[in-house]
Every structure is written in structure tokens, then in C-alpha cells.
Amino acid sequence: MQRGGLPEDAVVLSTAELADLQDRLFQLRCAAEDVVTAAQDGAENEELRKLAAELVESAKGLERLR
């Protein structure tokens, strides 16, 4: 069953919600890049653990739409 031309399981985001999602995706990518850069630069294990924890927190934020 469709409503207004959209499939029943469609998700509609406002412009503000889309912008927020894009910002959080950018933060996630930056956090992942930080881990890669630190590893390439020979960072200590403690720094890598900290950066990995920040990466996980960024990913958790994407698990829900606000």
C-alpha cells in the first residue's frame, strides 16, 4: 500500500533532519580518518584506544534519528 506515491515503509526526513544526519556522517568519517592517520603515524596504543572509542560513540549517534 502506498500513501501519496511513497511506499508504506518509506522514511521522510525534513531538510533540518537531513542536514543533521549529514553532519553526523561527516563526524563519523572524520573520526575514522583520525584512527587511520594515528595508526599510520605510529600512535601509541592508548591514543588509538581513545580514538577508537570516539569512533564508536560517533557510530552510536547514527543508530538513531533525532
Q: pLDDT tens, 2-56?
A: 567 888 888 889 999 999 999 999 999 999 999 999 999 999 999 999 999 999 9
Distance CA 44, CA 51 (A): 11
Domain layout of the chain by residue ranges: 28-66
Residue 59 predicted with pLDDT over 90: yes
pLDDT of residue 3: 60
pLDDT digits (tens, 9 = 90+) for 28-38: 999 999 999 99
In angstroms, rounded to a whole number, what is the distance separating the alpha carbons of residues 4 and 40? 51
Model pTM greater than 0.85?
no
Residue 66 pLDDT level (bands cut at 50, 70, 90) = low
